[in-house]
Structure 1
Amino acid sequence: MSTPSMTLNETPSRRRGRLQLLALLGVAVVPMILATSMYKLNFWVPDNRSHHGELIGTGQTPADLGVQGDSAGEHWQLLVTAPAACAADCQQLVYLARQINIGLGREATRAEHALAAAEALPADFQATLDKDYPALQRYGLDPAAHAKVVKQGTAPQLWIVDPHGNLVLRYPAGTDGKAVLKDLQHLLKLSNIG
């Protein structure tokens, strides 16, 4: 004789098995649905970030910026782009990129610094680069291609580029060097490449 709550074919162990299956599916499927919903609907996303620059997550490369030449290498790169004349703010970013590279200490060999300029450099700055910046890589820059990607005008920018040639972070002129150094150190700590 069966109890009123059970049917003829359902035993307590069968019911327990169904509950376990539902619990297992819930543990596996519910987090995936929740994560997909959070990504698509942009809710419960934390407001604070651990990086200081503007994150570039579009898979763009320096070539998309208009950098002429093969700027992809084996190392992380601090790339300064100057779509107009390399004036004082551009020169300060070039100096900052070198100082950040030096500031990496024993990790300095994992990074390099570069300048992509659209116009010829002033003679005095060119002489300074030749004398004091022997490791600085130099590239040409197409200002029209740069303007398609960067909508902020012709101000120079500092970019962190990963060893695969992807743009990772962007910083405007006048940015704090300690913040950039902290971001690059964090990236190097998390990365096995470069």
Structure 2
Amino acid sequence: MGTAMNPASMSETRPPRSRRRGRLQLILVLLVALGPMVLATTMYKFKFWVPDSRSFHGELIGNGESRTELGVQSDEKRWQLLVTAPNQCDADCQQLVYLARQIQIGLGRDASRASHALTTAQPLNPEYDARLTREYPQLQRYPLDLKRYHRMAPGVELPQLWIVDPHGNLVLRYGAEVNGKDLLNDLRQLLKLSNIG
């Protein structure tokens, strides 16, 4: 005679249908909740599926480097258009200083959310210094620590314009050839997306 299967022992070896369904639901919830975060982190770390197109015109810094690491000591708490001149403030530097002021004015009602500044490693030409004092009364000026600057921006000897966020983080960098309209659009976009500064 064959041994009969005991239904009670079968239910002990196999989980009930409702328990399996519950586990499946839990796994699905975890996948839905954690899946996008894991995917995004992996995409960021391994640089795959990253779109080639971009909506900004400057060079994105975006790695947490700060104005202090650039060699500029400032406690500005607004967005800042910062011009750096590791050498003399020549024609390109002066053009960027002018552009920084015009961009701030171009922000219209958001102009109070930004400032413009110049940092130089060498003393300014006395004539240009006097002109800045006279015509650019809101321009903030700082000395540039060349040692830190060269560590942060190796090989960058030409004047640059940097967008700095209210926490002092470097966001975008532009050379002297930047189109003012593009720069203004970039800054407007940042102000629109930001709830700081």
What is the TM-score with the length of structure 1 in the denominator?
0.87
| 3-state SS of 2:11 partner | coil
Q: How many residues align?
A: 188
- With over 3 angstroms needed to count, the CA separation of the structure-2 counterparts of 1:145 and 1:37, relative to structure 1, is closer
Counterpart CA distance in 2 for 1:98 and 1:122 is 20
The equivalent position to 1:135 in structure 2, one of 117, 138, 163, is: 138
Q: Counterpart of 2:53?
A: 48
Counterpart CA distance in 2 for 1:62 and 1:14 is 56
| 3-state SS of 1:8 partner | helix
2:69 pairs with 1:59:
no
2:153 pairs with 1:146:
no
The equivalent position to 1:23 in structure 2, one of 25, 28, 35, is: 28
What is the TM-score with the length of structure 2 in the denominator?
0.86
Unaligned runs of 5+ in 1: none
- With over 3 angstroms needed to count, the CA separation of the structure-2 counterparts of 1:62 and 1:25, relative to structure 1, is closer
Is this contact kept in 2: 1:66–1:142, CA < 8 A? yes
Question: For 1:81-120, what aligned pairs fall within 5 Å after superposition?
Answer: 81-120=84-123
2:187 pairs with 1:192:
no
Amino acid at match of 1:184: L
Counterpart CA distance in 1 for 2:55 and 2:30 is 34
Counterpart CA distance in 2 for 1:131 and 1:192 is 34
Amino acid at match of 1:144: K
Higher mean Cα deviation, 141-150 or 11-20? Answer: 11-20
**Residues 71-101 of structure 1, C-alpha deviation per residue, up to 9 Å, x if partnerless?**
2212111110000001100000000000000
Higher mean Cα deviation, 34-43 or 83-92? Answer: 34-43
- With over 3 angstroms needed to count, the CA separation of the structure-2 counterparts of 1:29 and 1:62, relative to structure 1, is closer
| 3-state SS of 1:169 partner | strand
Counterpart CA distance in 2 for 1:54 and 1:122 is 29
Q: Counterpart of 1:126?
A: 129
| Cα shift at 1:12 | 3.8
- With over 3 angstroms needed to count, the CA separation of the structure-2 counterparts of 1:11 and 1:154, relative to structure 1, is closer
2:152 pairs with 1:165:
no
Counterpart CA distance in 1 for 2:32 and 2:191 is 34
Counterpart CA distance in 1 for 2:175 and 2:91 is 13
Unaligned runs of 5+ in 2: none
Percent identity among equivalent residues? 60
Query: RMSD of aligned C-alpha atoms?
Result: 2.0
- With over 3 angstroms needed to count, the CA separation of the structure-2 counterparts of 1:60 and 1:40, relative to structure 1, is closer
Is this contact kept in 2: 1:84–1:143, CA < 8 A? no
Amino acid at match of 2:145: D
| Cα shift at 1:11 | 4.0
